[in-house]
């Protein structure tokens, strides 16, 4: 096996999930496993969560119909919500794999009805969740029009409204003013529907930020994403749930060489030695998800000591200066993860890159083998 790999700690995944379950108490959980479970591996993630038996998620969610089909191939029996609206070419997947469509316009309904006709599902009610735009201004029907649309949809015999949902724009920020406004708008629609006795299934709004800080947004179901994998969605949320990173990225020293003062390393000569030192190469690069913008900024733990990355990050390899320390070929290199006295998290990478942990874990490419570990 390649000497660079990602270790996925399934024990931490279970602990994170159960801590979320404990905080949200009696509401249902829709586990978000899109983008190959944020880079952690969808198959092992759902297998692990479903091993929790009575505590397993009531729903799963993914971004695309293709991801939904993949999820079904792992024998997932729970309802699966597809966040992206369906297009005509994806309709066979909807009906074959019993996926739940997101809708928010008459255009979507016409597409789905066409699929029903083509697949001769005459007595089949198409399950849908209506997405309400309460301020994200990305996808969804405007909150002022949502009640009328849901009322109209509820009268169509070909559809079953299994749920309605919205998505917060700022639940991961310290100032929750806008998130609270979004919640107020959404709850108003829920109350209108209840008053008119219009069935709408499950109402859900709380993403990871709201799960941490907005218990009033739990409603019927919550949608943990990045929190499942051990990270708060930003540094502005509380840490009201104990979370442990699930992914570590490990490599090994491939070579050790000595360079002299004035010697430069890697493309473009972005680092020049000021004194005699040892340089080690490590077989990971931007093709693996180690971003080129980490050039001269990255760090690694070798033998429980932190070392600086030097020189331009290349497609397959990076370099570290290790001074004159005793480092040997084959020594373990921790790029994400912890040792006895030190740790490097996705936040450390993200802060240097001006991004968030989501992008870090999703960006670890398929070229990096995943090794699954379970200590529970």
Q: Are residues 71 and 202 in the same domain?
A: yes
Q: Are residues 138 and 101 in the same domain?
A: yes
Q: Judge whether 119 and 92 are in contact, CB under 8 Å.
A: yes
DSSP state of 167: -
239 occurs within a structural domain = no
Enter the tokens of residue 335.
């790029």
The residue to which tokens 């695309």 are assigned:
64
Q: Are residues 191 and 263 in the same domain?
A: no
DSSP state of 220: T
> What's the pLDDT tens digit per position in 324-360?
999 999 999 999 999 999 999 999 999 999 999 999 9
Instruction: Please tell me whether residue 69 adopts helix, strand or coil conformation.
Output: helix
235 occurs within a structural domain = no
Q: Are residues 266 and 225 in the same domain?
A: no
Q: Which contacts of 345-350 are long-range, i.e. CB under 8 A and separated by 24 or more positions?
A: 345/231, 345/245, 346/231, 346/245, 346/247, 347/231, 347/235, 348/299, 349/291, 349/294, 349/298
Confidence at residue 120, expressed as pLDDT on a 0 to 100 scale: 63
Q: What are phi and psi of 224, to 5 degrees?
A: -70, 135
**pLDDT at residue 376 is higher than 60:** no
Instruction: Please tell me whether residue 345 adopts helix, strand or coil conformation.
Output: coil
4 occurs within a structural domain = no
- Plot region of 115 (φ>0 → left; ψ -120 to 50 → alpha; else → beta): alpha
Q: Are residues 268 and 172 in the same domain?
A: no
| 34 has catalytic annotation | yes
Cα-Cα-Cα-Cα dihedral sign, residues 5, 296, 350, 293 = negative
Confidence at residue 255, expressed as pLDDT on a 0 to 100 scale: 98
Distance CA 270, CA 321 (A): 13
Q: Are residues 142 and 64 in the same domain?
A: yes
Beta pairing class for 277-282 and 202-206: unpaired
Catalytic residue among 267, 275, 276, 366: 267
**pTM for this model (two decimals):** 0.95
Distance CA 203, CA 219 (A): 6
> What's the pLDDT tens digit per position in 292-316?
999 999 999 999 999 999 999 999 9
> What's the pLDDT tens digit per position in 187-231?
999 999 999 999 999 999 999 999 999 999 999 999 999 999 999
Among 229, 260, 282, identify where a domain stops. Answer: 229
Per the structure, the count of domains in the chain is 2
Enter the tokens of residue 339.
């040792």
Q: Are residues 266 and 222 in the same domain?
A: no
Q: Rg of the Cα trace of the chain?
A: 24
Catalytic residue among 14, 34, 116, 321: 34
Structural domain range at position 342:
247-373
Distance CA 171, CA 291 (A): 28
């Amino acid at each position: 096996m390649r000497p660079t790999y990602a270790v996925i700690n399934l024990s931490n995944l279970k602990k994170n999930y159960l801590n979320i379950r404990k905080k949200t108490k009696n509401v249902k959980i829709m586990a978000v496993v899109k983008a190959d479970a944020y880079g952690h591996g969808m198959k092992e993630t759902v297998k692990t969560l479903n091993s929790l038996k009575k505590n397993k998620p009531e729903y799963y969610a993914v971004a695309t119909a293709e991801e939904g089909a993949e999820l079904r191939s792992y024998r997932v029996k729970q309802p699966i919500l597809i966040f992206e609206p369906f297009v005509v070419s994806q309709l066979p997947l909807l009906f074959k794999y019993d996926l739940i469509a997101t809708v928010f316009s008459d255009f979507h309904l016409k597409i789905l009805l066409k699929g029903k006709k083509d697949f001769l599902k005459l007595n089949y009610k198409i399950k849908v969740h209506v997405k309400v735009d309460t301020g994200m201004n990305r996808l969804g029907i405007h909150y002022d029009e949502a009640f009328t649309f849901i009322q109209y949809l509820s009268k169509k015999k070909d559809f079953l409204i299994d749920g309605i949902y919205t998505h917060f724009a700022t639940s991961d920020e310290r100032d929750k003013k806008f998130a609270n406004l979004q919640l107020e708008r959404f709850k108003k629609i829920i109350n209108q529907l209840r008053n008119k006795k219009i069935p709408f299934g499950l109402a859900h709004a709380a993403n990871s930020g709201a799960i941490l800080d907005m218990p009033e947004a739990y409603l019927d179901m919550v949608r943990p994403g990045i929190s499942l994998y051990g990270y708060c969605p930003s540094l502005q949320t509380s840490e009201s749930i104990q979370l442990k990173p699930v992914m570590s990225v490990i490599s090994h020293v491939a070579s050790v060489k000595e360079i002299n003062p004035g010697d430069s390393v890697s493309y473009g000569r972005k680092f020049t030695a000021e004194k005699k030192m040892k340089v080690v190469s490590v077989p990971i690069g931007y093709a693996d998800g180690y971003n080129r913008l980490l050039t001269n900024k990255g760090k690694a733990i070798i033998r429980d000591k932190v070392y600086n990355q030097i020189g331009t990050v290349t497609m397959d390899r990076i370099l570290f200066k290790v001074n004159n320390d005793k480092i040997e070929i084959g020594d373990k290199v921790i790029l994400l993860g912890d040792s006895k006295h030190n740790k490097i998290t996705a936040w450390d990478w993200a802060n240097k890159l001006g991004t968030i942990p989501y992008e870090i874990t999703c960006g670890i490419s398929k070229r990096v083998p995943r090794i699954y570990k379970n200590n529970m």
